[in-house]
Amino acid sequence: MNTETPVALITGAGRRIGAAMAKALHAEGYRILVHYRQSANDAETLVAALNSERPDSAHTLCADLADMTAVKTLAQQAQDHWGRLDVLINNASSFYPTLVGDITEEHWQDLFASNAQAPLFLSQALAPALKQQHGCIINIADIHARRPLKGYTTYCMAKAANTMLTQSLARELAPEVRVNSIAPGAILWPENDAEVDDSTKQQMLDEIPLQRTGTEADIARTAVFLIQQADYITGQIIAVDGGRSLK
């Protein structure tokens, strides 16, 4: 594979939405840097599958995005592996409730680390490489950055910071680098500490004009559009939510 093949770094790409975006961009001819923190098996399985389709077209990078030294190392590794970078997708995100009265400094630090701090410092470190390729950054925002979700104050604050990061970077890095966000609605049901019961799921569905959840493919297609077909779009937050944010 020659050095002209474009490269995308996707954080949190071992599974779910991140993996869907990795597969979609790989199908468009990109080489993919799959970042993960704990999902090593998922990430390695994904990379093996992508490399079986096209040799030396995918590679894993492990880093804890709450560790600033690790973030700097990740940025350097991403630039060095294939000698270029065209796309950065800040997808990795912690998500769980923090009820007022029980919020701790650890909650604050963890939620802001993945949703605001790491996207900022990764973008800053990789901006020179992205400028060389007239590349782009996509942040994964959330419709609840502007429409708060009860019980998730810290997460919503972090995503609000993420939204302003997108708009600020779009001004700071123009004209060489475009910066946009995708704000998913109900795409995949939350896992682990953030799981919701059936009645809550139904309540959420009732709020969606299209009356259904979306899919990882909806987000992946939007990412491909912003990267390949949106040369005159920057600083925008694209809601992919079935119309839920209209209510």
- Residues with active-site annotation: 155
Place of tokens 């910071």: 161
| β partners of residue 105 | none
Q: What share of the chain is helix, strand, coil (3-state, %, to 5)?
A: 50, 15, 35
Place of tokens 């973008």: 123
Cα–Cα distance measured from residue 93 to residue 65, given in angstroms and rounded to the nearest whole number: 10
Place of tokens 């109900």: 186
Cα–Cα distance measured from residue 72 to residue 101, given in angstroms and rounded to the nearest whole number: 34
| β partners of residue 99 | none
End-to-end CA distance of the chain: 48
| β partners of residue 238 | 182
Cα–Cα distance measured from residue 241 to residue 224, given in angstroms and rounded to the nearest whole number: 17
Three-class DSSP labels, 120-159: HHHHHHHHHHHHHCCCEEEEECCHHHCCCCCCEHHHHHHH
* Helix, strand, or coil (residue 8): strand
